[in-house]
Amino acid sequence: MSISPAQTIASLHEIVTCIVASTSSPADLAALMQTSTLFFQLAAPKLYHSIPISYTCNPLVGASTTKPDRDEVLAKPFGKDALLTFVEIVRLERCDVSDWTPEISKRSNQRDAGYTSKRKKAWYDSLQPYALPRLRTVDIQPHPTIIENSDTSPSSTSSYHHYSYISHPSFSTLCERATHLHLSTQDVHTYGHDEENLPFLPLPRVRAVTIKARMSQIETLITMTSRLGIVFDASHLPNLELNIYVWDDVCLVDNARPTVGQGEEVRLDGQFLKDLGLHTCRHLQTPDFKSILNSLVAYLSIQTSFHTIRLLNLPSILERYAENLGESVESIERMLVECFGQVRDLQKQLYGWKEEEVLGMVFEGGGEYYEKYWNGRWVEEYVPPGMMASEEVYYCLMVDPSVTLVDLRTRMAKDADIPASWLSSLRQDELERLLKWYDSSNQDLSRSP
């Protein structure tokens, strides 16, 4: 039986589609695009779906300086303008100021000597972009070299937190169609509260702002929302949503918690388990935790720029907090809602707002964040001691643990009569060893006279 030309083409298309679907490396996708027209057509949308922009990566090179019409784009299907029609996410990578403006760094070092110099033209000054037609999301994140060079602390680099280039008019034009903005408290935490340096990009069509906030950086979150509120108030954007994903409420540092390493002797007594719990839940085992949340909710309730505020992953954190201090989740949630409502009622009186105009607050789980609001990229950052190893680790242990991991925690907590949250920082293999040692210790005790 012979195969028709149409069937041959269809079969080849399926094969190439499978190859492209299984390829994730940008370098590999770029290489595939150069092999044939078919590979180009299938790999290009995947490669250009999300693009990084920084002083080391400028994917706009070769594009028109003014928006081309549809016929011009169709006439050059392999041109840069055609590729930019696939872009839905722009990742603006902040960088060390000395990486893109050498004269600024030089002037800073010689300021006391009266040194003055005109700033050297930066890489982005020559950009003349047009608005990306399909863009929907802007994600501000660190440049990879910042993470690689942060051996001790990001604050060791004086220019680490410079963001002014992000507000450059070229980027405002490029991203003007975006409706979603993503930020992280880690981006601004260590440099202080200089609001003018916050990573902000004027987005005239933005409808939702999503912030990843570490529990230890709530003050930074308040600073960020304050700055964003000021800018959005001036923009008069309607029905803005603020989504806040709160995480890193438990600690995971290998050399700071009781050792459960392979082949090591562990004395599984009450003190060991208590030390494990104290280390893992030390952020939760303090009365200040509740007052911090109360302050956050009170502050968010006065933000007139946002119509809806979602606090994601907070219910799970409250469960762990309540478990450690013997309080009920319902009482804590009621306290937060009452605090929010009191300020909301005051807003209605002061501004004469109607009920539908008043800010609403919603609690949702961490899983909802990753299903609906996630920016599709794990946080890549310097991790201070006492915090979770990474966002991805936190997700696997706290937000979406495996059924086996949950069963092990439940069994160990029941057998040892301890809160399950004390075991949150342990991975599956560590829990299996811990449970094995615990069972062995109990058997030894039962056999002793």
Radius of gyration of the chain (CA): 26
Q: Where are the beta strands (DSSP E) in 234-373?
A: 240-247, 306-312, 360-364
Strand partners, 21: none
In sequence order, the 6+-apart residues with CB closer than 8 A to the CB of 163 are 94, 140, 197, 198, 199, 200
Tell me which amino acid residue 144 is: P
Is 14 in a helix, a strand, or coil? helix
Nearest to 314 by CA among 398, 240, 223: 398
Helix (H/G/I), strand (E/B), else coil: 184: strand
**Quick one: tokens of 303?**
């933000």
More confident position, 99 or 258 = 258
What is the pLDDT confidence band of residue 337, given thresholds at 50, 70 and 90? confident
Given a cut of 50, is residue 255 above it in pLDDT? Answer: no
Q: Letter for the amino acid at 206? A: V
Q: What is the pLDDT of residue 415?
A: 87
Residue 268: what pLDDT? 61
Average pLDDT over residues 241-267: 68
The DSSP-derived string for 120-132 is PPPGGGG------
The Cα–Cα gap between 125 and 325 comes to 55
Give the percent of the chain with pLDDT over 90. 17
Reply yes or no on whether the pLDDT at 48 is more than 80. yes
Alpha-carbon distance values, 284 to 148, 213, 325, 353 (Å): 31, 16, 8, 37
**pLDDT, average across residues 343-358:** 68
Q: What is the DSSP letter of 151?
A: S
Which residues are within 8 A (CB) of 29 and not within 5 positions of it... i.e. 6 or more apart? 20, 23, 43, 46, 47
Q: Which residues pair with 331 in a beta bridge?
A: none
pLDDT band for 99, please (50, 70, 90 cuts). very low
**CB–CB of 143/93 below 8 Å?**
yes
Burial class for 145, CB neighbours closer than 10 Å (0-12, 13-18, 19+): middle
pLDDT of the residue at 405: 95
What pLDDT is recorded for position 372? 95
Q: Are 406 and 397 in contact (CB under 8 A)?
A: no
C-alpha–C-alpha distance, residues 264 and 284, integer Å: 29
Residue among 299, 292, 288 at smallest CA distance from 314: 292
- One-letter amino acid identity for 151? D
CA dist., res. 359 & res. 304, Å (int): 7
Q: How many CA atoms lie within 13 A of 414 on its CB side?
A: 6
355 burial via Cβ count (<10 Å: 0-12, 13-18, 19+)? exposed
As a whole number, mean pLDDT of residues 289-300 equals: 83
d(CA 69, CA 203): 23
**Confidence class of residue 83 from pLDDT cuts 50, 70 and 90?**
very high
Spell out the alpha helix ranges (H) of 152-201. 169-174
* Position 97, amino acid: V
What is the reported pLDDT for 277?
A: 85
Local confidence band at 98 (pLDDT 50, 70, 90 cut-offs): very low
Going by C-alpha positions, the residue among 267, 71, 91, 79 that lies closest to residue 175 is 91
In this prediction, residue 148 carries a pLDDT of 47
What tens digit of pLDDT does each residue of 4-37 get? 555 555 577 777 788 878 787 788 888 888 888 8
Domain limits of the chain? 14-47
pLDDT value for 254 = 53
- Is residue 56 within 8 A of residue 143, CB to CB? The reply is yes
The better pLDDT of the pair 267, 218 is held by 218
Q: How far apart are CA 160 and CA 186, in angstroms?
A: 12
Q: Looking at residue 406, what is its pLDDT?
A: 95
Q: What is the secondary structure of 250-276 as a DSSP string?
A: S---GGGS----TT-----SHHHHHHH
Helices (H), 215-328: 218-235, 270-280, 288-300, 314-325
Nearest to 303 by CA among 335, 338, 340, 352: 340
Q: Flag whether pLDDT at 393 surpasses 60.
A: yes
The pLDDT of 82-103, averaged and rounded, is 72
**Do residues 229 and 303 lie in contact, with contact meaning Cβ atoms separated by under 8 Å?**
yes
Q: What's the length of the chain?
A: 449
User: What's the pLDDT band for 198 if we cut at 50, 70, 90?
Assistant: low
Greatest extent of the chain over all pairs of C-alpha atoms, in Å: 91
Residue 165's pLDDT is what?
A: 55
CA-based nearest residue to 386, from 149, 156, 154, 216: 216
Q: Label residue 358 by pLDDT band (50, 70, 90).
A: low
In contact, 242 and 311? CB cutoff 8 Å: no
For residue 132 the two structure tokens come to: 């990306």
